[in-house]
Amino acid sequence: MTAHRNGTRWLRHFGRLLGLLPILFLVGCTLQDYPQSTLHPQADYAHKIHGILTLQTWWVVIIFAIVQLLLIVAVMRFRSRPGSPEPRPVHGNTVLEIAWTIAPAVILTMVAIPTVLTIYETQTDPPADATQVTVIGHQWWWEFQYPDEKIVTASDMVVPVGKPVVMQIKTADVLHSFWFPAMGGKRDAVGGRTNSMWFTPEVTGEFPGQCAELCGTSHANMRMFLRVVTPAEYDAWVAQQQASPALPDSGTIEAQGLALYRSSACIACHKVEGISPGVIGPNLTHVGSRKTLAGGMFPNTAENMEAWILNAPGMKPGAKMLSLEEMKMKPEQVKPIVAYLKSLK
């Protein structure tokens, strides 16, 4: 009778624990938006990686369920009872030892085969008509060169939907890692070497990314945006980027800003086609058309651009932008320069 009561009490406690499981599952759910989640693939490459993750997750669930079932059976069957003798030790069980040697080998094989196949699939040569982009990591911003279209931009990468995109990934300084979670896996940018990857975006939209390798003070602030647009929108963007920036009308604040820009140290670091030859900082030829600035950190507004020029390290620790004193500029000269730069569409 006592054993029966103990068993009933144990089952009651176990039932309460099972009742807590839905709460534990709900803890992992959220209504918040995580745009850099890898669980929402938007490209063929990302779908392949997500398939491997799904497979491994199911294996873990199955193994967990089996282990927990065996544990429950063992606890129920071999639990201590009043007056029961000491358990008899068992030395070795050939069947069990063979089973728990074969089972992990089978599971690892089932995981390894699709993993290796996916590695080979993602390393195949891209189609010949793929969009070519050279990606260069800098401390702490990304440069995107389109060799076929002969255009250069920074922080914002634009590609057409439904067409393969090939990236040749390099670094101008230290080790970086290129990563758009919605599009596929990470790929390191290593000094003295060019790594490549390719994917085909499946939907239009904007997708955030960032450096995934510790690269210095503002590693966490080394961000970027991928804009996936329709083929017609991409062609229009390319034509806009290929056009020389229009000169501002004389007498305007933009014309005043151009004169100040030409006489400042900005021209040593930044390139504006036909105006300045700088190659150290981001190319500013069409900076006014970009979504972000400061390595993808801030929306590209006149207020943010002015604050950036006035005090870049204050907005982004470790930023290599020269101070106004080093550029021999006065604070009141910043606003006209910003007006000029924002006109570079």
> What pLDDT is stored for residue 5 in this prediction?
55
Residue-wise pLDDT for 286-302, tens only, equals 999 998 888 888 999 99
Same fold, 34-73+96-243 and 253-342: yes
- pLDDT (average), residues 89-115: 86
- Comparing C-alpha atoms, which of 295, 311, 149 is closest to residue 224? 295
- Strand, coil or helix: 189: strand
> What pLDDT is stored for residue 322 in this prediction?
83
- 15 pLDDT band (50/70/90 cuts)? low
> What pLDDT is stored for residue 122 in this prediction?
84
**Under CATH, what is the fold of the domain 253-342?**
Immunoglobulin-like (2.60.40)
Please tell me the distance from the alpha carbon of residue 94 to that of residue 173, in angstroms, as a whole number: 58
- 193 pLDDT band (50/70/90 cuts)? very high
- 23 pLDDT band (50/70/90 cuts)? low
Spatial contact of 196 and 169, defined as CB atoms under 8 Å apart: yes
Residue with structure tokens 């004389």? Answer: 250
Q: What percent of the chain has pLDDT over 90?
A: 45
Is the per-residue pLDDT at 102 higher than 80? yes
Both tokens of residue 231? 């083929």
- 74 pLDDT band (50/70/90 cuts)? confident
Q: What is the mean pLDDT of the chain?
A: 87
- The CATH architecture that domain 34-73+96-243 belongs to is Sandwich (2.60)
- Strand, coil or helix: 295: coil
- pLDDT (average), residues 256-284: 87
- Strand, coil or helix: 247: coil
Both tokens of residue 311? 């005090």
Ranges 159-163, 255-259, 273-277, 332-336, most confident: 159-163
**Domain map of the chain by residue range?**
34-73+96-243, 253-342
- pLDDT (average), residues 147-174: 94
- pLDDT (average), residues 82-103: 82
- 172 pLDDT band (50/70/90 cuts)? very high
